[in-house]
Amino acid sequence: MNFTVSKQPENCLLGPESDSQRTLYPYVTGTSVVALKYKDGILMAADMGGSYGSTLRYKNVERMKPIGKHSLLGASGEISDFQEILRYLDDLILYDNMWDDGNSLGPKEVHNYLTRVMYNRRNKFNPLWNSLVLGGVKKGEKYLGTVSMIGVNFEDNHVATGFGNHLARPILRQDWHENLSFEDGVKLLEKCMRVLLYRDRSAINKLQIAKITEEGVTISQPYSLKTYWEFSAFANPAQGAVGTW
């Protein structure tokens, strides 16, 4: 029995809304994704945590997935919405392959498709609660872009979502340069992820690094970063700044 009354005023433009609900807040969320362009393609890193509010509940969540032959998608935010997006992309790639004509959707096309999806959901006040990072290589051209839950999209040489924007991007702005080698790229990403691990409470010390080049996608096995908690600034944080914790 339905006791709720959802009466809309006559001048309302909203459609029928008796049983379904709109997204109000996310439940199981992933934290930052960081990615950069390097010599042979794109490197992307994300930890494997799925938080349930303030609880670090799930510790084996893969937040990066290959899409088609040329792209890699990383997501932060609501994990179930990420899974829904993967389903849309699965259909998209399937129909693209069914043409069987030598043409294929590259990372730019997938990125723009996702932008349309995210923006249209935002317009209906029912967003997919994710920030996405889409990277790939096609015919030697490297591509790295991001889309937010409200449909803001752009490309850059390095991108990050969530806390990564505040903690990782400044490091990348300083240390990134064209044609990084694979080792340097990984080192740079690990530097960013370590800072995130120290400072983002929803980060866990179990991450994967994914690489996409012309040859294809490789996602590493999960591993941990070495941390050092004996810095004097950690031991005595108030020394330089009174009142801090």
* Residue 66, token pair as written in the block: 């290959």
Tell me if 4 contacts another protein by CB under 8 A: no
In this structure, how many other beta carbons lie within 10 angstroms of the beta carbon of residue 96? 17
Is 213 a residue that touches another protein (CB under 8 A)?
no
Q: How far apart are CA 187 and CA 175, in angstroms?
A: 11
Q: What whole-number distance in Å separates Cα of residue 50 and Cα of residue 59? A: 6
- Residues comprising the chain, all counted: 245
* Signed CA dihedral, 184, 186, 189, 195: sign only: negative
Number of chain positions touching another protein (CB under 8 A): 12
The verdict on 109 binding another protein (CB under 8 A) reads yes
Indicate whether 132 belongs to the interface with another protein (CB under 8 A): no
- Site stretch for another protein (CB under 8 A), options 32-40, 60-68, 112-120, 211-219: 112-120
CB of 102 to another protein, least distance (A): 5
Half-sphere exposure of 25 (CA within 13 A, CB side): 3
> Which uninterrupted H or E stretch holds 41?
strand 41-47
Of 4, 11, 20, 103, the one binding another protein by CB under 8 A = 103
Q: Which of 50, 77, 106, 136 binds another protein (CB under 8 A)?
A: 106
CB neighbourhood size of 30 (10 A): 30
Could you say whether residue 102 binds another protein (CB under 8 A)?
yes
Asked if 213 is an active-site residue, the reply is no
Choosing from 4, 23, 55, 218, the catalytic residue is 23
Q: Does 99 bind another protein (CB under 8 A)?
A: yes
Residues noted as catalytic? 23
Per CB under 8 A, residues contacting another protein are: 99, 101-103, 105-106, 108-109, 111-113, 116
